[in-house]
Amino acid sequence: MVFKRREPLGWGAWLREMVYPRGGFRRATRYVIHRMRRVPDTPHRVARGIFAGSLIGFLPLPGLQFVGAWALARLMRGNILAALLGTFNTNPLTTPFFAVLAMSLGHWMMGVKTALSAGAIARAFENAGRDIWFNLRAVFTDEVTRWDGLLQFWHDIYVPYFIGALVPGIVISLIAYYITIPLVQAYQNARAAKAKERGERRRHIKEALLEAAQRLKPHRNEAAGDDDGPGTP
């Protein structure tokens, strides 16, 4: 298994790994790139998978990124494993900065006039969370559900974020697509060359051993004849 550990992480360790990997982001990035290059598929299918996973990774789909990457990769006929690896283009440290950039771009594209500040974002999340909790309680009571906070969150936060993330996400994912093809091709060609070299080396060793065995065979026959001695019938 690609991601299976010998000793499963506890919840605390898992959360720490999500925020900051134990080996650092550089090592984690190198590992993901290494796994991408070793995906056993054609370079173009791997690149399509990377595009799908990278694009989904930028979109606000909490808890559904793997499912979205799988679905888009299937639709594009890309490699599924590469798509799942491609979703690791975002992390908890960089996502907030990208989210603000995406929401700002989305507000500009949609003409939303609501002020975008840390306080406004926090209030939108707070109102949406309050409505969700109130509506869950309303299922078991006679209270009437309310949707004002959720509608405000949808209009001011989620939709601008989604649209604002879509444009740079497509651009960055296209760049990743065109970079992936030559990288995977070069890596696969290098592996094929090494495999051919190892095969040639094994063949030469085998031929040398057979030749040595053929040279030793007459000497063994002569030694066997000398052991019979004179007068042997």
Q: Quick one: pLDDT at residue 4? A: 52
Q: Give the pLDDT confidence of 132-167 residue by residue, as tens digits.
A: 898 888 888 888 888 898 998 998 899 999 999 999
Tokens of 224: 């066997």
Q: Quick one: pLDDT at residue 231? A: 52
Q: Quick one: pLDDT at residue 94? A: 75
The ranges of the chain with pLDDT < 50 are 1-3, 14-15, 18-20, 24-25
Q: Quick one: pLDDT at residue 18? A: 47
Q: Quick one: pLDDT at residue 195? A: 74
Domain ranges of the chain: 1-90, 93-178
Q: Quick one: pLDDT at residue 19? A: 46
> Between vectors from CA 185 to CA 183 and to CA 189, what angle results, nearest 5°?
120
Q: Give the pLDDT confidence of 159-186 residue by residue, as tens digits.
A: 999 999 999 999 999 999 999 899 888 8
pTM for the whole thing? 0.68
- The DSSP secondary structure of the chain, one letter per residue, reads --S--SSPPPHHHHHHHHHS-TTHHHHHHHHHHHHHHT-SS-HHHHHHHHHHHHHHHHS--TTTHHHHHHHHHHHHT--HHHHHHHGGG--TTTHHHHHHHHHHHHHHHHT--S---HHHHHHHHHHHHHHHHHHHHHTTSSPPP--HHHHHHIIIIIHHHHHHHHHHHHHHHHHHHHHHHHHHHHHHHHHHHHHHHHHHHHHHHHHHHHHHHHHHHHHHHHHHHHHH-TT--
User: Is residue 69 a contact partner of residue 87, using CB atoms and an 8 Å limit?
Assistant: yes
